[in-house]
Amino acid sequence: MTAGALPPRFAQMVEAVAPIAEAFERAGRSLYFVGGSVRDAFLDASTESPDYDLTTDALPDEIESLCAPFASALWTQGKRFGTIGFIHGGQQFEITTHRAEVYLPESRKPEVSFGDDIDLDLSRRDFTVNAMALRIHDLTLIDPYGGISDLMGHRLRTPLDPQVSFEDDPLRMLRAARFAAKYSLEPDAELLEAVTRNAERLSIVSAERIRDELDKIMVLDVPSHALWFIVKTGLADHFFPELPGLSLEQDPIHQHKDVLTHTLAVVDKTSVDRLLRLAALFHDVGKPKTRSFEGGGVSFHHHEVVGARMTKIRMEALRYSAEDTEAVVALVELHLRFHTYAMGWTDKAVRRYVRDAGAHLARLNELTRCDCTTRNARKAATLARRMDELEERIVELRAREEIDAIRPDLDGQAVMDRLGIQPGRDVGRALNFLMELRMDEGPLGAEEAGSRLDAWWASEGSAH
């Protein structure tokens, strides 16, 4: 491969790293672009800033020494794993010593050893499409496992026997789902068999690593391709058993939909928003526990409440942040709220809907729209029209009052001054009364709200 024959993206990469590569060559070391850098350069000849992942036969201390003169910033957090990161010319680089990562049978963390053989390094990588390297000084492509052929042929294989690859790092089984979906690769039969056979080994991988991989899946263009892989191979059983649990059997009498199929369709319909996609994934997890047959049909009473509790438990088990968990749980719990106002939207109803949705209002509205996967065009059109009406009502009410930050007309100090009471439970009760008044009737002003508060306090407030 010559410089003139390089795809534009490769040429950009070589130019950016040239002075660093020369320093390595003077030191008698080889430097390679590797893995995703090479894969993506073949797939995309655009001039967008690429990832600069490199590997070398130099050990970490030597990498640090060779790169320091070029670096405007340098970090060594990954040094024990052989990786030195730095910034040069405004671009971030990571250079890693040739290595192998191997999991011990019951280990959650990889054992790392360093080497000087590029072919061995590539053999320990996850998939053939990531097991390619470009030696920079002479522009030689190193592709001992047929990665280019697999990339062009849309095949997903492992460099070594998949049994060996997945024993090295069981998370690769979950990564297989993502790579197959992201790059339209067809997993070969041996890979699928190995994933199915070894799915249980995913249980030794830390929840944090699994969560991060799931998040990457959720922002794919079509997440369902990866999610079906996860369910069918049994991987979901070991970190998200609620997902295969949605495969409710078709009932010849009741003709209810398969909830898993519906759920994945909803996920695909939503925007590429990680939290919204997670809410779509979890929104019906409560259905299997609440399913009942009555009156010739099937129902799932309060599945949103049960589902919200299940969502919280599962997201906490996957070590999601409290903020992420709170957002997704709220969306799951509220995803049916829209349907409780079938007779129309009063000001009171709109205020409560907006208040309860809070910062997640736009996500809740989109989830509600996407939750309609019916093939009945009339039913779908009716739902869309009703959602349009709700959003119009929100706009109208916003023009008249601050519905996004609803608060009582009097604050706590004003309540205490007016009623002559001290801080405590009665203040909270009074504020709750004023908030309900505000929700029901809109802003009343301090004088009217004060008069209503006096009447409430006289009739029932002070009696408690």
Q: How many CB atoms lie within 10 A of CB 98?
A: 25
Determine contact, residues 94/113, Cβ cutoff 8 Å. Answer: no
Which has the higher per-residue pLDDT, 116 or 368? 368
Render pLDDT for 252-267 as a digit per residue (tens, 0 to 9): 433 446 889 999 999 9
Band (pLDDT 50/70/90 cuts) for residue 51 is low
Q: Which of 365, 381, 405 is at the close of a domain?
A: 405
Residue 171 belongs to a domain:
no
Q: Name residues whose C-beta falls within 8 Å of residue 53's C-beta, 6 or more positions apart in sequence.
A: 33, 34, 35, 36, 37, 94, 96
Band (pLDDT 50/70/90 cuts) for residue 104 is low
Residue 315 belongs to a domain:
yes
Task: Give yes or no: residues 429 and 372 share one domain.
Answer: no
Look up tokens 């990571």; give the residue: 94
49-58, 245-254, 355-364: range with highest mean pLDDT? 355-364
Residue 199 belongs to a domain:
no
Q: Name residues whose C-beta falls within 8 Å of residue 180's C-beta, 6 or more positions apart in sequence.
A: 156, 186, 187, 225, 226, 229
Task: Give yes or no: residues 105 and 17 share one domain.
Answer: yes
Is 188 exposed, middle or buried (CB count within 10 Å of its CB: 0-12, 13-18, 19+)? middle
Q: What is the CATH number of the domain that holds 113?
A: 3.30.460.10
Q: Is the pLDDT of residue 374 over 90?
A: no
Residue 197 token pair: 């056979």
Task: Give yes or no: residues 51 and 103 share one domain.
Answer: yes
**Mean pLDDT along residues 372-380:** 78
Band (pLDDT 50/70/90 cuts) for residue 464 is low
Residue 24 token pair: 């390595």
Residue 74 belongs to a domain:
yes
pTM: 0.82
Q: Which of 114, 148, 182 is at the close of a domain?
A: 148
Task: Give yes or no: residues 335 and 366 share one domain.
Answer: yes
Q: Which of 270, 290, 299 is nearest to 364 (CA)?
A: 270
Task: Give yes or no: residues 47 and 86 share one domain.
Answer: yes
Which has the higher per-residue pLDDT, 262 or 105? 262
Q: Which of 148, 171, 200 is at the close of a domain?
A: 148
Band (pLDDT 50/70/90 cuts) for residue 64 is very high
Residue 183 belongs to a domain:
no
Q: Count CA atoms closer than 13 A to 462's CA, side-chain side.
A: 13
Q: Is the pLDDT of residue 342 over 80?
A: no
Task: Give yes or no: residues 401 and 437 share one domain.
Answer: no
Q: Is the pLDDT of residue 328 over 90?
A: yes
Q: Is the pLDDT of residue 2 over 70?
A: no
Q: What is the CATH number of the domain that holds 274?
A: 1.10.3210
Convert the chain into a string of H (helix), E (strand) and C (coil): CCHHHCCHHHHHHHHHHHHHHHHHHHCCCCEEEECHHHHHHHHCCCCCCCCCEEEECCCHHHHHHHHHHHCCEEECCCHHHCEEEEEECCEEEEEEECEEEECCCCCCCCEEEECCCHHHHHHCCCCHHHCCEEECCCCEEECCCCHHHHHHHCEECCCCCHHHHHHHCCHHHHHHHHHHHHCCCEECHHHHHHHHHHHHHHHHCCHHHHHHHHHHHHCCCCHHHHHHHHHHCCHHHHCCCCCHHHCCCCCCCCCCCCHHHHHHHHHHHCCCCHHHHHHHHHCCCCHHHHEEEECCEEEECCHHHHHHHHHHHHHHHCCCCHHHHHHHHHHHHHCCHHHHHCCCCCHHHHHHHHHHHHHHHHHHHHHHHHCCCCCCHHHHHHHHHHHHHHHHHHHHHHHHCCHHHCCCCCCHHHHHHHHCCCCCHHHHHHHHHHHHHHHHHCCCCHHHHHHHHHHHHHHCHHHC
Task: Give yes or no: residues 252 and 380 share one domain.
Answer: yes
Band (pLDDT 50/70/90 cuts) for residue 56 is very high
Q: Is the pLDDT of residue 437 over 70?
A: yes
**Mean pLDDT along residues 392-412:** 75
Q: Distance (Å, rounded) from C-alpha 382 to C-alpha 372?
A: 10
Residue 73 token pair: 């910033």
Number of domains within the chain: 3
pLDDT for the residue numbered 379? 80
Residue 166 token pair: 């997945």
Task: Give yes or no: residues 390 and 425 share one domain.
Answer: no
Determine contact, residues 49/91, Cβ cutoff 8 Å. Answer: yes
Task: Give yes or no: residues 362 and 459 share one domain.
Answer: no
Range of the domain at 437: 412-463
